[in-house]
Amino acid sequence: MPGSRDAVIDLLGALSYAQLSGFEALAAHAQMTPHLTAKMAFARMAVQMFSRCEQVALRLEGFGVPYADAMAPFVTAIDNFHTRTAPSDWLEGILKAYVGDGIVRDFYTEMAGRLDPDNRDFIVGLLGRVGEPDYILHTLHEAIAADQRVAGRLALWARRIMGETLQQTQSVAAERDSLVALLIGGEAGSGITETGVMLGRLTDAHTARMHRLGLSA
């Protein structure tokens, strides 16, 4: 049972604003670091996020829905997320980008799996195109190797981002009946169980990402 048209519009609206605010956050991280190579890396990631946002906005317009209308219901929840996860330095900013974007991509990919093939393929393609950002891994590895206390601080920070991101994605879904239906209506009758299984998959993927960084999840 693929999601309704409302669910498609809502999911695209939430996704596009998540990417737009991700663009803003990454650009703000660029401003937090004096290192020119890091600035450039943040800016490149920000541009990539905005490109996703533009592609979703175009698709919404193609459906006859102004992108601003589709984004609007999700602004508060997503802005609150960024307020609660403002990094205190650019290293926390990098980790937030890595952890947060990873979970957000997994979440929307999961939700897209409940849509019709055309919309599913669009979202999966959009979010899948980005490779593992070498610069992030390299920089975090270096910082952690240089100072073991940094590893402890960043592991705590990643846990906080993980919790806040899961809460954000759920509160985004809770904004709209269509998304609640999409979230808990995955398999006929399976409802809450299915959601629990999905959260488990998101957590597993997060744990794997943490291990690639050499951090405990």
Question: Which residues contact a copy of itself by CB under 8 A?
Answer: 17, 20, 23-24, 27-28, 30-31, 34, 36-37, 39-40, 43-44, 46-47, 50-51, 53-54, 57, 67-68, 71-72, 75
Tell me how far, at minimum, the Cβ of 96 lies from a copy of itself, in Å.
16
DSSP character at residue 114: T
In the chain, the amino acid numbered 70 is A
54 or 194, CB closer to a copy of itself?
Answer: 54
Give the Cα separation of 173 and 153 in Å (integer): 30
Q: Determine the 3-state secondary structure of 188 from DSSP.
A: coil
67 or 157, CB closer to a copy of itself?
Answer: 67
Give the Cα separation of 25 and 22 in Å (integer): 5
Q: Phi and psi at residue 34, in whole multiples of 5°? A: -85, -10
Tell me how far, at minimum, the Cβ of 211 lies from a copy of itself, in Å.
31
71 or 91, CB closer to a copy of itself?
Answer: 71
74 or 98, CB closer to a copy of itself?
Answer: 74
Three-point CA angle 154, 94, 140, nearest 5°: 60
Tell me how far, at minimum, the Cβ of 90 lies from a copy of itself, in Å.
13
Type and span of the H or E element at 55: helix 36-62
